[in-house]
Amino acid sequence: MPKIMPITNYDMCIIISNLLENAVEACQKLEQTSPEAPRGKIELAITTQGMHIAVMVKNSFSGGIITDGSPEKAGQPVSTKKDGGFGLRSVRAVAARYEGHILTEWNSGTFTAYVMLRM
């Protein structure tokens, strides 16, 4: 990582804390389903690629995914929060400020969020 980044510490904290909070909640939910359930796993990687910073959070997952509705909501995990949560919306807003984007993907048992920010 560069010593001086054009991305504020505050904005990086928004991205990392929201993605990790979602990952921890997904792992806790997985572990609560049954005593025999596998323990949750979380991976975090932050790298630079040319003039971009890439953040990846991959975690165990057993929840549902929104597959219809607005493009902002499609591909997001179904929130466990009463008001739908603001985590991925906050991450998307920060990414937009830095001409970046967020991509989410999932398969059986794994959810991955990729965030790319322009430096």
DSSP string, 60-115: E--S-B--SS-TTTTTSBPP-STT--SHHHHHHHHHHHTT-EEEEEEETTEEEEEE
Examine residue 70 and state whether it is found in any structural domain, yes or no.
Answer: yes
Residue 61: both structure tokens together = 């997952």
> Which band of pLDDT confidence, cut at 50, 70 and 90, is reported for residue 40?
confident
Examine residue 100 and state whether it is found in any structural domain, yes or no.
Answer: yes
Confidence (pLDDT) at 6: 84
> Which band of pLDDT confidence, cut at 50, 70 and 90, is reported for residue 27?
confident
Confidence (pLDDT) at 116: 95
Task: Print the domain residue range for 19.
Answer: 9-118
Geometric angle at alpha carbon 43, from 39 and 45, rounded to 5° = 175
Helix (H, G, I), strand (E, B) or coil at 32: helix
Distance (Å, whole) CA 43 – CA 26: 13
Examine residue 86 and state whether it is found in any structural domain, yes or no.
Answer: yes
> Which band of pLDDT confidence, cut at 50, 70 and 90, is reported for residue 28?
confident
Distance (Å, whole) CA 83 – CA 61: 21
Examine residue 4 and state whether it is found in any structural domain, yes or no.
Answer: no
Examine residue 1 and state whether it is found in any structural domain, yes or no.
Answer: no
Domain count, the chain: 1
Confidence (pLDDT) at 91: 95
Kindly report the CATH number assigned to the domain that includes residue 82. Answer: 3.30.565.10
Confidence (pLDDT) at 88: 87
> Which band of pLDDT confidence, cut at 50, 70 and 90, is reported for residue 97?
very high
Examine residue 103 and state whether it is found in any structural domain, yes or no.
Answer: yes
Confidence (pLDDT) at 21: 94
State the average pLDDT over residues 27-53. 83
The pLDDT of residue 79 is above 80? no
Give all strands of the β-sheet with 42-49 in edge-to-edge order: 42-49, 52-60, 110-118, 101-107
